[in-house]
Amino acid sequence: MEWIDRLNSAIRYMEEHLTDEIDYEQLGRIACCSSWHFQRMFSYMAGIPLSEYIRRRKMSLAAVDLLSSDARIIDIAEKYGYRSPTAFNRAFQSIHGTAPSSVRQEGISVRSFPPITFKITVKGVEEMNYRIETKEAFRIVGVSVPLEKEIEKNFAVIPSKWQEISLNGTLQTLAQMMNQEPMGVLGVSTCNEEEPWRYYIAVSTSLEAGDYEEYTVPAATWAIFPGEGTNQSIQELERRIVTEWLPTSGYEYGNAPDIEVYQSPDPQNARYEVWIPVTKKQG
């Protein structure tokens, strides 16, 4: 089954379980990647976070239930996993712009969000430079923060940690410890299903860790993409990797961390590399 077919199979799984608590790890298994990588692929492809898509689909179906049945609002709320009527009302109103109690009144409009189906359109407008490298395991030393299973919850946590260690001198101290490849300050997302999810800001070094944490990045094959620009440009490069390069590359996600290598720390004129763990596509 091709990569895009697996993604659509995961969408079908979601549709079949909208009245359950959707298992993100199962979505990853269907797509043959970690739930972290699945959420990244989905958000880049769909243009919205996975949790928001699920919320829109549930509220679309809840509106249909309200209009086509005389079921109690509290029962419809529970059907879609809302134990609190207040939480259901808030979610419903954020999507439809009106309270569920008013939907059955004549003339009230609601919104419909149909299921997404993905297909590949190859644009080929702008070239992408990359290289494939297989590397042995290497040790990193630094600081880390735990990551939430819904990845959009981390969008505030990670920048806040970068700011904290930049202001308190930790980032400068770590940079002085760097003495091994890859040379640069590293942002390492350890988001497989075998260990707790964490984000490390670290360097590759042979020096003692001291008061800092250490982690061993496993041996893996990486697709490495160079880039430069602002902090926003790295996000755009990651989006292009997932939506343009990966589907037609002959590779799929491997079971190793995502790595950002910051070779120049200037936030307005940074030089960096994005490392994506990959394996050769089977068949």
Mean pLDDT value of segment 263-275? 82
d(CA 248, CA 252): 10
Tell me the average pLDDT of the chain. 89
pLDDT band at 45 (very low <50, low <70, confident <90, very high): confident
Q: State residue 213's pLDDT score.
A: 97
Q: Distance (Å, rounded) from C-alpha 114 to C-alpha 224?
A: 36
Confidence label for 3 from pLDDT (cuts 50, 70 and 90):
confident
- Given a cut of 90, whether residue 235 has pLDDT beyond it is no
Distance CA 17, CA 37 (A): 20
- Model confidence at 283, pLDDT cuts 50, 70, 90, reads low
Packing angle, helices 3-16 and 24-31, rounded to 10:
150
pLDDT digits (tens, 9 = 90+) for 207-224: 999 999 999 999 999 999
Indicate the helix (H) or strand (E) that contains 161.
helix 157-167
Mean pLDDT along residues 223-234: 86
Distance from C-alpha of 122 to C-alpha of 125, rounded to nearest angstrom: 9
Q: What is the pLDDT of residue 79?
A: 95
Instruction: Give the span between the Cα atoms of 225 and 260, in whole angstroms.
Output: 10
pLDDT band at 267 (very low <50, low <70, confident <90, very high): low
The whole-number pLDDT of residue 186 equals 96
Residue 120 has a pLDDT of 67
With 0-12 / 13-18 / 19 or more C-beta atoms within 10 angstroms meaning exposed / middle / buried, residue 218 is middle
> What pLDDT was estimated at residue 279?
92
- Cα–Cα distance for residue pair 52/60, rounded to 1 Å: 12
Is the pLDDT at 1 greater than 60? The verdict is: no
- Which pTM value belongs to this model? 0.82
Task: For 87-144, write each residue's pLDDT tens digit.
Answer: 999 999 999 999 999 988 877 888 999 998 887 666 656 788 999 999 999 999 999 9
